[in-house]
Amino acid sequence: MSQFQKVAAIALSLSCVVAVAAAADRIYTTPNPAAELKRLFPNAAAFSALTGEPLHFTAYGADPKTTPAAPTLGVAFWTTDLVPQEHGYHGPIHILVGMDMTGTLTGVVVTYNSEPYGYFSVEPPKFAMQFRGKKISDPFRVGGDVDAVSRASISIGSAARAIRDSARLVAKQLLPEAAK
């Protein structure tokens, strides 16, 4: 077999694989993040569905079905809904962010990422932990108030920006005037 034939054979088999894969395409999302919402708002009695503009969950202190005046504890939202253009090393990093009504983050949960080095950048609990209690006015600077990981700087930078920018967007539209 000549070199050219070999290259052609490889190209042909690769395109067959692409065709098969396109048919078997899968989308990674977490349609019902009940457990994640509970982690962000442990005291919440009920959560709304994902709704509104921008898309968000509302966390209530009491079930609004039985208590019409149920207090709102905060909101939760997906970074991928708010800043879909924000890509890590390989595609968007799916992060659920919780924020109380004063613009302070109650926490973040990284549910899915396709970062090659996700397992030592955005997956460890240590990464998510550092955003709890952060205010939207904080700088979110990697190497400053967000820990740097020199071997995964693109993943960490993207995740920190996604959290910061989505929280600020939501705060601007949903939080009371004083919290903005």
Q: Under the criterion CB under 8 A, does residue 101 sit at the interface with other proteins?
A: no
Residue 162, beta-bridge partner list: none
* Residue number with CB closer to other proteins (44 or 103): 103
Residue 57, beta-bridge partner list: 76
* Residue number with CB closer to other proteins (76 or 162): 162
Q: Under the criterion CB under 8 A, does residue 29 sit at the interface with other proteins?
A: no
CA torsion angle 30 31 34 40 (round to 10): 50
Among 2, 5, 24, 49, binds other proteins (CB under 8 A): 24
User: Are the beta carbons of 147 and 130 closer than 8 angstroms?
Assistant: yes
CA dist 111 → 10, 13, 54, 78 (Å): 36, 34, 20, 10
Q: Under the criterion CB under 8 A, does residue 163 sit at the interface with other proteins?
A: no
Q: What is the closest distance, in whole angstroms, from the C-beta atom of residue 39 to other proteins in the complex?
A: 23
User: Are the beta carbons of 78 and 96 closer than 8 angstroms?
Assistant: yes
Stretch that binds other proteins, among 34-42, 58-66, 73-81, 144-152 (CB under 8 A): 144-152
Q: What is the closest distance, in whole angstroms, from the C-beta atom of residue 45 to other proteins in the complex?
A: 29
**Total of residues contacting other proteins (CB under 8 A):** 51
Cα separation, 114 vs 155, whole angstroms: 10
Q: Under the criterion CB under 8 A, does residue 15 sit at the interface with other proteins?
A: no
Q: Under the criterion CB under 8 A, does residue 39 sit at the interface with other proteins?
A: no
Q: Under the criterion CB under 8 A, does residue 49 sit at the interface with other proteins?
A: no
For 3, other C-beta atoms within 10 Å of its C-beta total 7
105-134 residues in contact with other proteins (CB under 8 A) are 114-120
Q: Under the criterion CB under 8 A, does residue 18 sit at the interface with other proteins?
A: yes
- In terms of Cα–Cα distance, which of 116, 111, 125, 117 is closest to 162? 111
* Residue number with CB closer to other proteins (18 or 129): 18
